[in-house]
Amino acid sequence: MAESITIKSPHEIEIMRQAAKIAAGARSMGRQAVKDGLTTKQIDRAVHEYIVKNGGRPSCLGYEGFPAATCVSVNDEVIHGIPGRRIVRSGDIVSLDLCATYKGFVGDCAGTYAVGEVSDEARRLIEVTRQAFFEGIRFAKAGCRIHDIGEAVQDYVESHGFSVVRDFVGHGIGRGMHEAPEVPNYRPEGRRPNPRLVKGMTICVEPMVCAGDWRIKILDDGWTVVTADHSLAAHYENTILITDGEPEILTMADDI
């Protein structure tokens, strides 16, 4: 039986705004820590400390055994990079994906950031990935369907010569980090659930974009997802609320 989509009450939405505010602030803190010479573990520590200091709990820590508060993915790592001793250097691009739980509700966001001077391709990849999110949420309105979002993301990304990962998708969010419905970043084939968006839904739209081919592989650690052709990858995500008008981006604060 398919998992049902939860519609949030005004009270629940207000708590989600607070959870999302903590997550957004943690993303900003992590971004500031993305500097030449720092380890991915140091970046994770900055995120972890910010979330706890602001009354939240790092949702990723311990989730299905994940060992950190932040997924820190570098260069050809798409998502789920495990923080450790790796030192980021000028010319790298670093993706941060994190969640904060507050009073039982979760805020989730991600972004990819340049370390010092990066290649023109890397800079353009970051910009296109971020803009693809905004192209997608033009259709994150009551009455539209979930797949309208993914079609817009895919069309925009491919028009710039990049590709969209198929193996991982966006999702609903609320009391759980991952809830129904799935939110693909591409035009699905076949008969897949394509629910209509309604006011009170909360979802995460998160383009994962590759400079080369979209196919991926998972490393032996069981977590880190990399591009199969070792091309660069970028990730951008926000938690959004479906309203009776334009979508409200709950994790937009501090995304400068």
Residue 177 has pLDDT above 70, yes or no: yes
Give yes or no for a cis peptide into 195 (omega within 30° of 0).
Answer: no
Return the domain boundaries, the chain.
10-249
Residue 100 has pLDDT above 60, yes or no: yes
Nearest alpha-carbon partner for 162 in 95, 232, 212: 212
Q: Please indicate, yes or no, whether the overall pTM of this predicted structure exceeds 0.95.
A: yes
Contact by Cβ (8 Å): 86, 243: no
Tokens, residue 133: 């999110």
Tokens, residue 117: 């001077």
CATH code, 10-249: 3.90.230.10
Across the range 109-136, mean pLDDT stands at: 98
Residue 254 has pLDDT above 80, yes or no: no
User: Which residue in the block uniquely carries the two structure tokens 């199969």?
Assistant: 228
Across the range 120-143, mean pLDDT stands at: 98
CA 229, chain centre distance (Å): 22
> In DSSP terms, which residues pair with 107 in a beta bridge?
100
Band (pLDDT 50/70/90 cuts) for residue 59 is very high
Residue 2 has pLDDT above 70, yes or no: no
> In DSSP terms, which residues pair with 57 in a beta bridge?
101
- Helix 120-136 and helix 146-159: axis angle, to 10°? 150
Radius of gyration of the chain (CA): 17
Cα–Cα dist 182/204, whole Å: 9
Band (pLDDT 50/70/90 cuts) for residue 1 is very low
